[in-house]
Amino acid sequence: MQSIRSTALEPTAVELERLPLAHRIGRLIPVYGLLIGLVVLIVVFSITLPNTFPTLLNFRSILGDKAIIAILSLAAMIPMMAGRIDLTVGYGIVLWHILAIALQTHYGIPWPVAVAIVLVLGCLLGLLNGFLVELARIDSFIATLGTGTVIYAIALWYTEGRQVIGVLPPGFTGLYTTRLLGVPIAAWYVLVISLVLWIVTEYLPIGRYLYAIGANPRAAELNGIRSRRFVIGAFMASGLLGAIAGVVLAARLRIGQASVGLEFLLPALVGAFLGSTTIKPGRVNVWGTIVGVAILAVGISGIQQLGGEFYVEPLFNGVTLLFAIGLAGYAQRRAKPVARHAPEAPEATE
């Protein structure tokens, strides 16, 4: 049943205190490796492209363009906490952005109501995924691949391969075009969602329960955690965030078409997987996911400004994912010898 296993590998304060300085640095490098790599990329591209990269315009462009991927990565992260995977984050956004536009242009529904309908349907899709995984006992990869393909087919059937076009109210398009303190409002969505998820996953019992389910479902059940309820809730939260990303995409594009959306699937999953290799290696986490998306955004932006071809983005996504997974494997190998040779606590003396 487990598509992903969650086991945190970040060193503890007690472990670090017992290690010599060289070993301590070796344990911390994998933890903050991607964050260090992000800083290095920014410095390198800023030096190489001083007139275009370290500019406010480029900063705003990166924040606005990659906000949707960041939301989808956070959506994918939630089921990963429980050891599941949700592929509908990439398929669902196709239908949601089409539906958000069609409800307004074809059926005359006010945009706040149209947005609310899309968000509710996103939660219902998550509920369906949760039922398939927890009640029908279908592996989450297979279940979400199936439901994702179905909703993508619905999008194709509705549009018949054509664009959904119409006049959208300024209030709706403002969901993407508005700037707050000079920063695209989509970036603020990411910040708010990240803070909420960080508080929930790190400081509330529900976060600990999801991590426990991801690490060992049987042990979680024996400790009284109702795994089924929390896993279904995780899929519903993922569906809600996927629908939010679809609404933001609709406000950005202002047209709906079934050919748009699937290109978000790989970057979103890569961002979530990268999040499990930094800050808390071996365990998906909010700020690790944000760092993962940021390193993809910065790397792709810099390479494209250097004249990279159209295939640069998927190539960079794949190479970065392989590098990050290798870094996580290195952290795991480093952790085992340290645990085996850690000095024993002194015996108590009378």
Give residue-wise pLDDT tens across range 197-207: 999 998 999 98
Report the alpha-carbon distance of residue 89 to residue 263 in Å, rounded. 11
| Closest alpha carbon to 75 in 205, 161, 189 | 189
Q: Cβ(174)–Cβ(183) under 8 Å?
A: no
pLDDT of 162? 87
pLDDT of 345? 42
pLDDT of 347? 45
- pLDDT for 253-308, tens place per residue? 998 888 887 788 888 888 888 877 776 766 788 998 998 899 888 888 888 888 87
Residue 16 has pLDDT above 60, yes or no: no
| Closest alpha carbon to 263 in 128, 125, 64, 66 | 66
Report the alpha-carbon distance of residue 178 to residue 60 in Å, rounded. 12
Question: CB within 8 A of 50, min separation 6: which ones?
Answer: none
H/E run at residue 265: helix 265-275
- Complete domains list, the chain, with CATH: 13-340 (1.10.3470)
The distance of Cα 164 from the centroid of its chain, to the nearest Å, equals: 28
Question: CB within 8 A of 183, min separation 6: which ones?
Answer: 60, 63
- pLDDT for 109-157, tens place per residue? 999 999 999 999 999 999 999 999 999 999 999 999 999 999 999 999 9
Report the alpha-carbon distance of residue 284 to residue 77 in Å, rounded. 6
Average pLDDT score over the chain: 83
- pLDDT for 48-91, tens place per residue? 888 888 888 888 888 888 899 999 999 999 999 998 999 999 89
H/E run at residue 180: strand 179-180
